[in-house]
Every structure is written in C-alpha cells, then in structure tokens.
C-alpha cells in the first residue's frame, strides 16, 4: 500500500471548475501511477475555505469511485496560504516503491511542492 498526493488550484469557485479540476487531478494521478479505480483504498480531499461550490469527492464519484471511501475536509486557514486549492491523499494498492510513486500538483498548486521532482504544472486558462 502507498499514499499518493495531489493538489490543484481553481481560478474561480464554480461548480464546473471544481468538477473539472478535481477530475483532472484524480485522472492524472491514475495515469502517472498506472492505477485503476479498484486500486484505491480510500481518498481524503481537503479544500480551502474559499471553495464552497461543490464537494471535491463528487468529481471522483463521477469517475467511477462510487464504492471507494471518500471524505472531504477543510484545509487549515494559515495566513498567506494559497487560495482556491483542493488537495488529495489517496491510499492505493500498488507494487511501486515509495520513490516511484508520482505525486501530481496541477495549475498554481505546483508551487506547493517544488521540492518534488515529479510535479505536473499546467497553465491556467
């Protein structure tokens, strides 16, 4: 079992963008780590307090995660922290070594973990 991290940043708090960005993050975690939905044990999503348009877990459910335990929580409100961020911590069944797990950070959230060599950064529209 391994833990896989991910994060993405929304440009604005809309339901459509929440569903799009979270689905993109989850899908990219799956692609980068060669995972199927059945490989997921559980997923914890956190969102900053400025995101209220939709539950991040709903985007995963739309991808077929209906039988995977999912939960949403609030991110800590630390002064100066990045706004409009959704994070995920997924527990997965995989034979990959810890060093071979790819954590996915998209859009502005790529700046959150610049220490990771396997960070994905996408431009915002």
Residue pair 86/45 in contact by the 8 Å Cβ criterion: yes
Q: Would 104 be classed as within a structural domain? A: yes
Token reading at 85: 């961020």
User: What pLDDT, in 10s, does the model give residues 46-70?
Assistant: 999 999 999 999 999 999 999 999 9
User: What pLDDT, in 10s, does the model give residues 74-92?
Assistant: 999 999 999 999 999 999 9
Residues 6+ apart with CB under 8 A from 7: 25, 85, 86, 87, 88, 104, 105, 106, 109, 112, 113
CATH of the domain at 21: 3.30.1330.40
Q: Would 11 be classed as within a structural domain? A: yes
Q: Which sign, positive or negative, has the C-alpha torsion 34, 38, 39, 43?
A: positive
Q: How far apart are the first and last CA of the chain?
A: 36
For residue 85, the 8-state DSSP code is: E
Q: Would 64 be classed as within a structural domain? A: yes
Confidence of residue 73 (pLDDT cuts 50, 70, 90): very high
Q: How many structural domains is the chain composed of?
A: 1
Expressed as residue numbers, the domain containing 61 is: 2-113
């Amino acid at each position: 079992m391994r833990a896989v991290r991910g994060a993405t940043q929304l440009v604005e708090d809309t339901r459509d963008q929440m569903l799009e960005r979270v689905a993109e993050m989850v899908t990219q975690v799956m692609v980068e780590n060669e995972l199927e939905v059945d490989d997921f044990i559980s997923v914890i999503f956190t969102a900053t307090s400025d995101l209220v348009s939709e539950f991040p877990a709903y985007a995963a459910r739309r991808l077929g995660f209906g039988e995977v335990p999912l939960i949403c929580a609030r991110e800590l409100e630390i002064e100066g922290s990045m706004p409009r961020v959704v994070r995920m911590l997924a527990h997965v069944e995989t034979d990959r070594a810890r060093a071979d797990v790819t954590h996915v950070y998209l859009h502005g959230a790529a700046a959150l973990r610049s220490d990771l060599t396997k960070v994905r950064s996408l431009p915002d529209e």
